[in-house]
Amino acid sequence: MEIEEIHTIPPKKKIALVAHDGRKEDMLDWVAYNRGTLSEHLLFGTGTTGTLISEKTGLPVYKFKSGPLGGDQQLGAKISEGDIDVLIFFWDPLFAQPHDPDVKALLRLAVLYNIPTASNRATADFLISSPLFHTAYQRISPDLPEPLDKSDEVINAR
């Protein structure tokens, strides 16, 4: 995998906010504390987390489905399409999640596409207070090979 592509993350970020049940209160506290800064950006969230953030802070949040119902996969697709700039995901390391493969896939895509990611409040604080958070940023992402299209081989083999 060669690193070739440079993508500009604009000053107005598209931020995904996700929290497991055991971390939702922590996420709500963090969003409330950073409400002023977050109000300058576009917010996205999985079902319950996005709804709670909207209700508790008044911030507009575009909501995907709940994580276990496909929301993590929807967010992963948006990351791969270049439609999410930052992932704040307060996940709970003490309890197994029924949708754990989806969680791992989401985190794998965030790393693969070089998306700034915070998994706890301390990291989220460092990320949001960085001078880079408030400016355009040149994000280097991997030059991924195109998937092989096996359908031509199947059709021609007949």
Q: What is the DSSP string of 89-156?
A: EE--TTS--TTHHHHHHHHHHHHHTT--EE-SHHHHHHHHHSGGGGS-EEEEEEEPPPPP-THHHHHH
Average pLDDT of adjacent 10-residue blocks, the chain of 158 residues: 73 95 93 97 94 96 88 90 94 65 84 93 96 92 65 52
Domain count, the chain: 1
Model's pTM, two decimal places? 0.85
Q: How far apart are CA 60 and CA 51, in angstroms?
A: 9
CATH code for the domain in which residue 30 is found: 3.40.50.1380
Q: How far apart are CA 107 and CA 90, in angstroms?
A: 11
Take residue 124 and report the two structure tokens written for it: 């989220």
pLDDT in the model for residue 6: 83
Are the C-beta atoms of 39 and 65 separated by less than 8 Å?
A: no
DSSP SS3 for 58: coil
Q: Tokens 């109000």 correspond to what residue?
A: 39
Q: How far apart are CA 70 and CA 66, in angstroms?
A: 6
pLDDT in the model for residue 1: 47
**Amino acid identity for residue 42 in this structure:** L
pLDDT in the model for residue 22: 87
Q: 15 lies in which domain range?
A: 2-157
Are the C-beta atoms of 24 and 49 separated by less than 8 Å?
A: yes
Out of 72, 92, 100, 125, which one is annotated catalytic? 72
Beta bridge partners of 9: 137
pLDDT in the model for residue 11: 93
Q: Is 26 a catalytic residue?
A: no
**Amino acid identity for residue 49 in this structure:** T
